Every structure is written in structure tokens, then in C-alpha cells.
């Protein structure tokens, strides 16, 4: 099996699937137009040549996502070999094994041979899919690895792993207000994330090496001859041919691989910034095509349960996700009262009625319904059986894409330094942080020597090490682009942010809400990857909500204290979360 596994057997098959998906969208649009209806969408509707160029861009984006020569280790090899088309002599030893989280010290260990053994890092190194699908202990992934914190190339800064758990990429680009990315809201666009990753620490580049990284990536794209093993899987074109739309013979690239005309550039006549920008644009298209619950053949038991009961899978136009979630619960309770609910006990899209990539039964029955009602129920006169989960995880995405503090950082810190220690930790205000920026704030290309003590995993040997999440980014002048969105998310109640100091304090230990779809392919959980299974996740919420009501959690989210579940609620909630699994492939 090659590095791509069997995510798609051939490029032409993927191209055909993409065209089918887009053409189905055109058919639905045509029907609506003929019937006099109008739909509103945040996404461009592709037509004719645009459909084919979009599909081609997704294909090339996947190739660039898998490209291992952009890494700093290949740059060092290139300094010796002088030829971008040679195979690296010694791959990064960190990639020899796939690391797996185990839940006990040392928490993660090398488990099995890695898919990029003897190569250098690429985007896929931390965002796996089907590379280990035939290994029962590992299996399919939703573009996420198996580690609590992803291994990174070893450099002079002595970092061995990332600060946070690798996030799933599936559905990451879903449109929403106040668009921010990464768990601390560091980025305001997917394009930003991609360029920062290509030139950043995950591929071995240190802060301050941005220009070197750009020039190196540009050289790979200019001098690639299209005869490597990876290129062969994607049509056998050089990057220069892909980017210009013309072969070296001056003949056009075949239509299946032709990107949109307005994107094409001559790599030798364009600046390196333009060349890398186009590379990121194609990766962007690829990642945007990774979505949950978009293909009728891979819906979850929950989605099929909604379908067979005639319930809407998405909100109405201008209906918020919370409003939609409350409406769904009301409709279900009404049907249940009248004995009209139909349950699901098999997958209509597989021959055996089960999942293809999950072990459990494909079912949505009484247990899943009980969990769903707990999940969707918000605080009323009762203080029992109220999950309040949709406050932060509303359907259909099962995330509000907001920023919340549920106590994960505090729990990790106090497990090392003792109960109450996080509440005693001195956290500076805006002016004090600026004075201590070199020590406290994270390193950037503008300030490469910053230590980022408040953006590190808690450690026994230094009580200043902790991860304050959004606090590191909000009102940080090195991150101007996401500031407006961060303020809107942090200060949803403006009266609580009368001053910048108050707003900064509200940002302490906040992190972006992840989706809850297909959790079976994305463990371990939380931004620090410290929880290994769903029962433990629910147990964490039970304890954290009690701590919040007892005023023990610093800067706890207002919604956390409204969670009123007991131990008997855990299994139904887990059953419901499992019903959100899909056969993502």
C-alpha cells in the first residue's frame, strides 16, 4: 500500500466522484429554479469548465498536501545534493513510527511503522486518513493522528511535540460568522493556516526562517520534473505544468488536471510568494472538499434517523443552529408522544447493514434517543438530566465554532501542581503582558525569540508552563487579522468587556469548540489530547460542571454550570455520540 492508502484508488475515480457530486448539486438547483424556489448558499455554484477546474484543483491540492519535500529536513538534504528530484538519503527518524496515545505515562509511544518512514514531514504526517485502516487497533481517521500531541522534527529549540492535539480537518472550513481557526483562534483564514504550516514548526522550520522556507518551497515547485512516485499518482505532471496549464511540449495539460485559467501562473516569471500562495490555494480547495454528512451514502445513524422520520437535516434560512436544535427536539418529542417515531437498526448503504470502518452496530434506537434528549435538553425548572450540550455543540455541525473554557487547562495544571494552584497562578493584564512579552507570548516570525511560557503543556519542572489558549492571541499585535472575530466571540456580552483588561481576562484558557461528528476516528480528545474515550469525556463534564457551580474553575464558561448530568446519564449520551459516526472515507 502506498502513502495514500486506498483513500481513492485512482485520480480519475476521484475526479469522477467530484463531478458527480457537483452535477447533483446543479440538478437540485435546476429543479428549484423550475419550481420558482430560491436557495441561498455561502458557496459558489460551479458550472461547466468551473466544475472540472474545481475537481482538478482538489486533486492537485491533495498531492501538495502529501508533498514531503517542503520540509526543513529536505532543505538540508538539498544543500548537499543540489537536486530537488532526488530521494532524501536519510528520512526524519521521528516518522519511523506512528505514535499512539495510551492514557498512562508516558501517554504516547511509538506503536507501528509510520506511513512516511524514511521521508520528511508533510501535512499528512499529523492529519492521517486510511494509512492504518487495516490495523484494528488504529483504523480510519478523519485527518487527525493518534497522538495526544503530535511529534515534530527535532530542532535547536528542543521541542519534541506540538503544544496541542492535532485537530480534525473534516468540516474545518464550514462557513460561519467570526471565522477563526486553530484551537486558540490564531488564524482568520484557511489560506493563512496552510502557509503558516508549510513554513512553520510542524515541517521543521523555526520562527525567523520564514523567508528561507518560502524560497525553498518555491524551488521545489519550480524545479520538480513530475517524474517522482507522488507525481505519478496524480497524472505525472510537474508543478510548473500544473500551475501554468501547459506541458513542456507547450501542449495544454489534459482537462482532467487543468486548474482555472485565472489561477494559472508561470512559476519562473512569478515571485516566490505568488508560487507558494498558489500552492496553498490548491491545498485550500482540497481541505474545503473534506466535509461531514455531505454524501448521502455515508450518513450517520443519527442523520438517517432524521431522514426516515421526515425531520430536517439542516436549519432553515436565517434559523440559528441553536434554534434548529431546539426545534428538532420539539419535533421528536411530538412524534414520540404520538408513537410515530421510526428507529434505525441497519445501514441502508452497505450490503451487510453495518458500518464499513467502525466496529459498533449501525443503530439509532431507544438508548440513542434517550442520549439525544439529554444532549439537546437545556436548563429548565429541573436540575436533573440536563446536558445543555447544544449550547456549544448545536446540530447539524455539532459545534458553535465558539471559544469556551471548560477547565481542561486547569485540570492538567493542577494534576501536577496541586488543587487550587491554577487559581493562584499570576496572569498579567494587557500592560503587564506587553512588558513580559518576550517571556510569555509565543514566538512568531516578527518575534522569533519569544518563549511562550503560557502556550506550553504544564510541566513539573516549571510552574509557569501552562496553556492559556486564546489569551496568547487576543490583543497580541503579532496577530492582527483574527482580532475582530476574537473580540466578538469573547465579548458576546459587551458589558463584561468594558476594558481591554476585562476582555483579556475572559480569554484565559478558552479554546475553540470541536465538532462531535465521527469522534470514533479522532481520539484522543480535548485540546491537549488527554482523554482517551467518550465515557471519560462525559465523566470529565460531570466533574467540571460541579466544579464550576462551586466556583472552583478559573474563568469557567457560563454554560458549563448549566450541565446537570449524573453517572446514569453517561451511557445514553455516549450512545448518542456514537450515533454521529460516519463511514468517512
pLDDT at residue 513 is higher than 60:
yes
Taking alpha carbons only, the member of 11, 51, 81 closest to residue 231 is 11
Please determine, for residue 408, whether its predicted confidence score (pLDDT) is greater than 80.
yes
Which residues is 344 bridged to in the sheet?
364
| In the predicted structure, residue 133 carries a pLDDT above the cut 60 | yes
Q: Which of 50-59, 109-118, 327-336, 454-463 is predicted with the least confidence, judged by mean pLDDT?
A: 50-59
Three-state SS for 31-76 is HHHHCCCCCCCCCCCCCCHHHHHHHHHHHHHHHHHHCCCCCHHHHH
End-to-end CA distance of the chain: 16
CB 509 within 8 A of CB 405: yes
Mean pLDDT score of the chain, rounded to an integer? 90
- Please report the pLDDT score of residue 7 as a whole number: 38
- Note the pLDDT of residue 47: 56
521 pLDDT above the threshold of 80? yes
In whole angstroms, how far apart are CA 382 and each of 377, 378, 544, 568, 574?
11, 10, 19, 16, 22
- Residue 11 C-alpha cell reads as 485520480
Statement: residue 19 has pLDDT above 80: no
Among 470, 502, 476, residue whose Cα is nearest residue 489:
470
How do residues 257-284 score in pLDDT, each as one tens digit?
999 999 999 999 999 999 999 999 999 9
Q: Determine the Cα–Cα distance for residues 528 and 408; give it in Å rounded to an integer.
A: 8
Label residues 91-113 b or e (16+ Cβ within 10 Å = b): bbebbeebbbbeeeeebbeebee
If you average pLDDT over residues 37-45, what whole number do you get?
33
- What CA–CA distance (Å, rounded) separates 453 from 72? 25
355-375 as b/e: b if 16+ CB within 10 A: bbbbeeebbbeebbbbbbbbb
Q: Which residues lie closer than 8 Å to 344 by C-beta, 6 or more apart?
A: 301, 304, 305, 308, 362, 363, 364, 365
Mean pLDDT of the region 399-419: 97
pLDDT tens-place string over residues 171-188: 999 999 999 999 999 999
> Does pLDDT of 10 surpass 80?
no
503 or 2, higher pLDDT = 503
Q: What is the DSSP string of 245-308?
A: SB-TTSPBPPGGGPPPGGG---TTTS-HHHHHHHHHHHHHHHHHT--SS-STTS--HHHHHHHH
Query: Helices (DSSP H) in 67-188: which residue ranges?
Result: 72-81
What pLDDT is attached to residue 447? 97
Confidence of residue 74 (pLDDT cuts 50, 70, 90): very high
Question: What domains sit in the chain, N to C, each tagged with a CATH number?
Answer: 59-288 (no CATH), 293-423+512-585 (1.10.760), 426-465+470-508 (no CATH)
pLDDT for 25 equals 35
Average pLDDT of the segment spanning 377-381: 77
User: Are 571 and 537 within 8 A, CB to CB?
Assistant: no
Task: Using alpha carbons, list the distances in angstroms from residue 408 to 457, 552, 554.
Answer: 11, 13, 11
Q: What number is the average pLDDT over the span 375-380?
A: 88
42 confidence band (pLDDT: 50, 70, 90): very low
Residue 44 corresponds to which cell in the numbers above? 459558489
Query: What pLDDT, on a 0 to 100 scale, did the predictor assign at position 22?
Result: 34
**Contact call for residues 375 and 387 (beta carbons, < 8 A):** yes
Q: Indicate the pairing of strand 403-404 with strand 97-101.
A: unpaired
pLDDT at 16 > cutoff 60: no
C-alpha 527/C-alpha 524 separation (Å) is 9
Non-local CB neighbours of 38 within 8 Å, separated by 6+ positions: 32
Rounded Cα gap, residues 473 and 90, in angstroms? 37
User: Which segments of 385-436 does DSSP mark as H helices, in order?
Assistant: 408-417, 421-424, 430-435
Amino acid at each position: 500500500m502506498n502513502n495514500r492508502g486506498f483513500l481513492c484508488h485512482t485520480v480519475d475515480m476521484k475526479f469522477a466522484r467530484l463531478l458527480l457530486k457537483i452535477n447533483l448539486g446543479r440538478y437540485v438547483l435546476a429543479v428549484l429554479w423550475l419550481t420558482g424556489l430560491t436557495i441561498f448558499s455561502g458557496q459558489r455554484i460551479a458550472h461547466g469548465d468551473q466544475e472540472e477546474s474545481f475537481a482538478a484543483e482538489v486533486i492537485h491540492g491533495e498531492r501538495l498536501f502529501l508533498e514531503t519535500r517542503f520540509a526543513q529536513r529536505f532543505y538540508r538534504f538539498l544543500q548537499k545534493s543540489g537536486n530537488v528530484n532526488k530521494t532524501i538519503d536519510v528520512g526524519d527518524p521521528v516518522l519511523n513510527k506512528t505514535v499512539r496515545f495510551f492514557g498512562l505515562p508516558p501517554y504516547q509511544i511509538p506503536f507501528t511503522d509510520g506511513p512516511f518512514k524514511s521521508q520528511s514531514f508533510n501535512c499528512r504526517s499529523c492529519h492521517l486518513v486510511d494509512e492504518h485502516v487495516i490495523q484494528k487497533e488504529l483504523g480510519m481517521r478523519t485527518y487527525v493522528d493518534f497522538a495526544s500531541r503530535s511529534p515534530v522534527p527535532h530542532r535547536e529549540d528542543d521541542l519534541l511535540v506540538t503544544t496541542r492535539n492535532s485537530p480534525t480537518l473534516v468540516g474545518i472550513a464550514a462557513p460561519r460568522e467570526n471565522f477563526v481557526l486553530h484551537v486558540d483562534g490564531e488564524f482568520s483564514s484557511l489560506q493563512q493556516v496552510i502557509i503558516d504550516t508549510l513554513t512553520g514548526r510542524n515541517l521543521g522550520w523555526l520562527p525567523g526562517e520564514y523567508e528561507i522556507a518560502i524560497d525553498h518551497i518555491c524551488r521545489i515547485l519550480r524545479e520538480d520534473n513530475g517524474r517522482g512516485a507522488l507525481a505519478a499518482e496524480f497524472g505525472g505532471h510537474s508543478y510548473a505544468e500544473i500551475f501554468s496549464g501547459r506541458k513542456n511540449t507547450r501542449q495544454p495539460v489534459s482537462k482532467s488536471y487543468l486548474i482555472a485559467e485565472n489561477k494559472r501562473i508561470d512559476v519562473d516569471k512569478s515571485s516566490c510568494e505568488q508560487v507558494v500562495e498558489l500552492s496553498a490555494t490548491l491545498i485550500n480547495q482540497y481541505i474545503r472538499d473534506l466535509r461531514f454528512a455531505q454524501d448521502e451514502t455515508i450518513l450517520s445513524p443519527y442523520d438517517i434517523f432524521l431522514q426516515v422520520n421526515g425531520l430536517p437535516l439542516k436549519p432553515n434560512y436565517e434559523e440559528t443552529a441553536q434554534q434548529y436544535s431546539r426545534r428538532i427536539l420539539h419535533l421528536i418529542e411530538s412524534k414520540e408522544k404520538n408513537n410515530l417515531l421510526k428507529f434505525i437498526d441497519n445501514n441502508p448503504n452497505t450490503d451487510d447493514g453495518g458500518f464499513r470502518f467502525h466496529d459498533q452496530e449501525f443503530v439509532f434506537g431507544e438508548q440513542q434517543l434517550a442520549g439525544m434528549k439529554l444532549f439537546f435538553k437545556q436548563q429548565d425548572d429541573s436540575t436533573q438530566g440536563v446536558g445543555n450540550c447544544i449550547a456549544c455543540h448545536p446540530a447539524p455541525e455539532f459545534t458553535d465554532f465558539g471559544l469556551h473554557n471548560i477547565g481542561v487547562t486547569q485540570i492538567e495544571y493542577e494534576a501536577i501542581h496541586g488543587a487550587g494552584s491554577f487559581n493562584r497562578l499570576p496572569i498579567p493584564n494587557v500592560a503587564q503582558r506587553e512588558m513580559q512579552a518576550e517571556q510569555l507570548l509565543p514566538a512568531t516570525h516578527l518575534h522569533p525569540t519569544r518563549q511562550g511560557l503560557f502556550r506550553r503543556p504544564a510541566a513539573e519542572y516549571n510552574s509557569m508552563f501552562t496553556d492559556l489558549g486564546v489569551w496568547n492571541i487576543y490583543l497580541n499585535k503579532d496577530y492582527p487579522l483574527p482580532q475582530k472575530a476574537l473580540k466578538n466571540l469573547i465579548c458576546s456580552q459587551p458589558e463584561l468587556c468594558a476594558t481591554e483588561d476585562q476582555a483579556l481576562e475572559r480569554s484565559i484558557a478558552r479554546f475553540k469548540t470541536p465538532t462531535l461528528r465521527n469522534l470514533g476516528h479522532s481520539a484522543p480528545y480535548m485540546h491537549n489530547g488527554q482523554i482517551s474515550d467518550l465515557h471519560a469525556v462525559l465523566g470529565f463534564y460531570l466533574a467540571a460542571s460541579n466544579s464550576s457551580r462551586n466556583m472552583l474553575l478559573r474563568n469557567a464558561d457560563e454554560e458549563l454550570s448549566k450541565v446537570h448530568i449524573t453517572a446514569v446519564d453517561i451511557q445514553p449520551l455516549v450512545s448518542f455520540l456514537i450515533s454521529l459516526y460516519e463511514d468517512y472515507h
